[in-house]
Amino acid sequence: MNSTEEQYNGQRNDLFTPGDFDRGRPRWIEICWYFVKVWFFLSPWPWPNSLKRRLLILFGAKVGLRPNIRPRISIHFPWKLTMGDYCWLGDSCEILNLEQVTLEDHVAIAHEVYLATGSHNIRSRTMAYANKPITIKRGTWVASRAFIGPGVTIGENCVVGAGALVVKSVPNDSIVLSAPAQVVGRREITDP
């Protein structure tokens, strides 16, 4: 046993072998999607929404009427995405949808929002996946730079404030805010 193994007493906690995971499509489709994503979705060019909608549907997404899909959007697996009618995806959104992400009708996801269905079991030596779907219900607005974690359902007509960290489900008609910044002391300059 080398010194690193002795340091861990033979018990390593960094063996990333997460086990079974259904990617949902063959690897070659995933590779094709990657090129389409880079060219049409991660691009700063304002490609027409109708084109982006057709491309998402071609790769297995369910997309309703008249989506507004801004530039620089990252969608991991389109075949695990459902968008209702009149949904908005703001610039630079990240959708890490290792499991299903469902956006019902009239959902607005603002700029730089991160939706993450992927996670790991922190008690697992192999970092086993702990992925869970996300659902955002009708009429909800998620403001800029919010994070929505695995297993979260956000009810109808909610507002999730800018920078909010949402890791538990939210009932209908809620306003969700993260704790605002607080002054915790005074800066005193002592050198001339």
Look at residue 104 and tell me whether its pLDDT is greater than 90. yes
Cα–Cα distances (Å) from 57 to 32, 43, 83, 114, 164, in that order, read: 14, 19, 10, 22, 30
- Number of Cα atoms under 13 Å in the Cβ half of residue 85: 1
The residue segments making up the domain with residue 116 are: 25-176
Number of domains into which the chain is organized: 1
6 within domain boundaries: no
- pTM, full prediction: 0.87
187 within domain boundaries: no
**Within its chain, how far is the Cα of 45 from the centroid?**
22
Residue 81 sits in a domain whose CATH number is 2.160.10.10
pLDDT at 140: 98
Give the pLDDT band of residue 6 (cuts 50, 70, 90): low
9 within domain boundaries: no
What is the C-alpha to C-alpha distance for residues 25 and 60, in angstroms, rounded to an integer? 9
184 within domain boundaries: no
Give 18-70 pLDDT, tens digit per residue.
667 889 999 999 999 999 999 999 999 999 999 999 999 999 999 999 999 99
166 within domain boundaries: yes
Look at residue 100 and tell me whether its pLDDT is greater than 60. yes
4 within domain boundaries: no
62 within domain boundaries: yes
108 within domain boundaries: yes
Give 135-172 pLDDT, tens digit per residue.
999 999 999 999 999 999 999 999 999 999 999 999 99
- Number of Cα atoms under 13 Å in the Cβ half of residue 112: 6
